[in-house]
Amino acid sequence: MQPVSQVAAESQEQLPGEIRQLCLLLFVFLWASFAWFYHTGEHNENAHFDQIRSLAEEGTWHIERFSGNTADVIKLAGHIFPNKAPGVTYLGVIPWKFFRAVLAITPLSDAARSHFTAYLVALTTLGLCSASTGCAVFRLLLRFGLSREAALCFSLLYSLGTIAFPFSTVLFSHQLAASFLFLGFVLLIERERLWQVVVAGFLLGFAPVLEYPAALGTVVIGLYGLTSLRWRWFLSFLGAGIAAGAFLLFYNWTAFHQLLFVSYEAYNQPGSAFAGHSRGFAGVGWPRASVLWEITFGRQRGLFYVNPWLVLIVPALITLRERAGRRELCVCFAMVVAFLAFNSGFGDSIVYWGGAWSIGPRHLVPMLPFMTLPIALLCRRRWCAVAAAVLGSGSLLAMFLATAVTPRVPYEATDPFLFYLHQLHLGRISLNAGSIFANRFVPGYSFNWGLLLGVPGRAQLLPLALFWAVAIPWLLWKAWPSASSRLPRTAPFFFSGSIVSLSVLPLLWHITLPVPPGWMRGLAGVIAPGPFLINVSSADADATFLDTTQVLHRRDAPIDFFWEHEAGPFPTPFGGIWAGVIYVPVEGTFVIALESDDGSALYLDGRPVIDRWRSGERARKDAFVILARGYYPIAIHYENNSRSGTLRLFWSPPEMAEEVVPPEYLFSRP
């Protein structure tokens, strides 16, 4: 059998201009798909953005000024730092300064500028890297002798049919690490010029600076480089890798005054907020079979459950019998084994090995592009190709929905697909429960471009679905210009019809809650400056309890607010009352919760259910209530005494995941 380099030379000689054009079109398509969504506002991304902003605006690694929006922090030497590797900060600080300066001349509010800056930073770092990785998969499969149409299909399956898709729209470090590892691997395979080897070394050396566990991939691919390169080239490769890794040493020394330090080691103290990091080394111990099952086939976080076509990696082991590319395939399988072993030994609960709120086990994202090569080679067999097409189409549809709703599946959702179908049933797209630095970005925390263009909520999936329905068949036809069979020409229409049908579902399948006569959706709110004048102990309290020199009347649904310091409706202190009725759709035991900073109280059906009337940091209080189906009077009292403020109303219906109470269930009189 021919060596990989010879197969690559022959495949690249076939209409190279068309291949380059197809690669460019693929890049634009993938980047546009990632750019359609903006998800942010939870602990992981906030920790990254806090440090990016702190370094860009104040020149410091510590994040005291912004850290109130995240729990993913460590405290050392009197300062607060993210518990993350610093690579995302290095990549994001220059784009942040640039886009912040550009948007400063626009009429946008500070809240909108913060969110758009974060969106553009993610798009020009994470989005570009993810789109480039999809193209690298395409190039590598061509190098291994696959046809253009097969290489394109598997590039799309990887980029849009795995959890790499949702994690290409949130600024976590896992997908960036995957990009740096895989791009470095591809450059090592090509290695036609010295610069490719040097760039490969830098990418592989920087991967652990982005995500600590990426060091596993750096070692595996580094050994491949050691056995593949001439010694002079290997020294250049090694030198570039050491130079990139020095960014981590520089951060450790300037931030913690230690060279060899992993931020998660700071949790080794008794009583740590993340005690799971105290086991083994920074939370990594011996692999456990029970966890391995959960991260592969388990319903709640299993990779093969959400992306079933990846299970073909098991029969793909037979590709190791082939002579061409055996060493490269060994690297791919070694990456899979290394990351599965790491993830199955990480932490002591789903908070760690499950990636916390996550669609699938996000710590496995760096190995996904390496799984694609063996599976693609396996699918030169017809039965495997059919299995990959069927399972892969389902994965594409599932990841389209997951990315459209949210990449974050809460702990309470034992099945991610049931969670997403429930949100689809409610017509809730671009779901998010938090923000970055500001109260709320109009028209919401998360967004998609359908929302910004004014498309009604239940139709916001449709513009992207139509784009996919046209672009994917067109890309396949460009890759398969000489197909004479009717099946290759008509098959894309089946996928196009499926993706459009999925996007039309919210328009046809949704709850219709009758509005009580004379009422409107949303709770009526009254906000006024100053503290409550007397103790609030009545569900019938109204604006007479507030300093009424200034009063702001509003109607809100959902009750989900975060007011950044000095960005609230009034300077602190201020208070508010929201009142109306809540519709209970089913009978049973509900968990109702209020999260607030500072004091809050909840009255349901005239009875005090939650009373947390005290100053202090953000906290929540839960209550269990047994309710029959119907409408119940509800009142929420809130007081913010200083600095930032938070008020959020949650519920957990019987046998359902917790969520912010949807706006469809809240009503009040005009």
Distance (Å, whole) CA 474 – CA 471: 5
**How far, CA to CA in Å, does 70 sit from each of 45, 87, 144, 320?**
9, 18, 45, 45
Distance (Å, whole) CA 420 – CA 413: 10
Token readout for 642 is 């200083």
Distance (Å, whole) CA 637 – CA 578: 7
Q: What is the DSSP string of 91-120?
A: HHHHHHHHHHHHHTTSS--HHHHHHHHHHH
Amino acid at 226: L
Amino acid at 98: F
Q: How many CB atoms lie within 10 A of CB 607?
A: 11
Q: What is the DSSP string of 551-586?
A: -EEEEESS-EEEE-TT-SSSSSSEEEEEEEEEEE-S
Classified as helix, coil or strand, 368 is helix
Distance (Å, whole) CA 558 – CA 581: 13
Distance (Å, whole) CA 85 – CA 92: 13
Distance (Å, whole) CA 318 – CA 259: 43
What are the residues whose beta carbons fall under 8 Å from the beta carbon of 334, sequence distance 6 or more? 220
Distance (Å, whole) CA 610 – CA 604: 9
Contacts within 8 Å (CB) and 24+ apart, 310-314: 310/162, 310/368, 310/371, 310/375, 311/391, 312/375, 312/378, 312/379, 312/384, 312/387, 312/388, 312/391, 313/371, 313/374, 313/375
The pLDDT assigned to 6 comes to 46
The pLDDT assigned to 2 comes to 43
Q: Which of 461, 60, 73 is nearest to 267 (CA)?
A: 73
**How far, CA to CA in Å, does 146 sit from each of 11, 131, 302, 444, 631?**
8, 20, 29, 44, 61
Distance (Å, whole) CA 658 – CA 412: 6
Distance (Å, whole) CA 534 – CA 338: 61
Classified as helix, coil or strand, 332 is helix
Give burial (CB, 10 Å; 0-12/13-18/19+) of 566: exposed
Q: Which of 635, 628, 642 is nearest to 587 (CA)?
A: 628
Phi first, then psi: what are they for 133, rounded to 5°? -65, -40
Distance (Å, whole) CA 184 – CA 154: 19
**CA angle centred on 605, ends 602 and 607, rounded to 5°:** 55
Residues of the chain with confidence (pLDDT) below 50: 1-3, 5-14, 438-444, 484, 543
- H/E element, 128: helix 128-143
* Cβ pair 371, 329 in contact under 8 A: no
Token readout for 244 is 């990139």
The pLDDT assigned to 366 comes to 97
Amino acid at 632: Y
The pLDDT assigned to 669 comes to 83
Calculate the CA 429 to chain-centre distance: 15
Q: How many CB atoms lie within 10 A of CB 21?
A: 12
Distance (Å, whole) CA 442 – CA 456: 15
* pTM (two decimals): 0.83
Residue with tokens 């950044």: 564
Q: What is the DSSP string of 458-518?
A: GGTTHHHHHHHHHHHHHHHHHH-TT--SHHHHHHHHHHHHHHHHHHHHHHHS---PPPPTT
**CA angle centred on 169, ends 26 and 648, rounded to 5°:** 160
Q: Are strands 666-668 and 574-584 parallel, antiparallel or unpaired?
A: antiparallel
The pLDDT assigned to 442 comes to 39
Amino acid at 240: A
Token readout for 643 is 């600095």
CA 217, 334, 162, 351 dihedral sign is negative
* Cβ pair 577, 450 in contact under 8 A: no
**How far, CA to CA in Å, does 233 sit from each of 93, 199, 245, 510?**
32, 12, 18, 61
Calculate the CA 193 to chain-centre distance: 36
User: How many residues are there in the chain?
Assistant: 670
Q: Is 522 left (phi over 0), alpha (psi -120 to 50) or beta?
A: left
Phi first, then psi: what are they for 276, rounded to 5°? -60, -20
> Helices 16-35 and 128-143: crossing angle, nearest 10°?
150
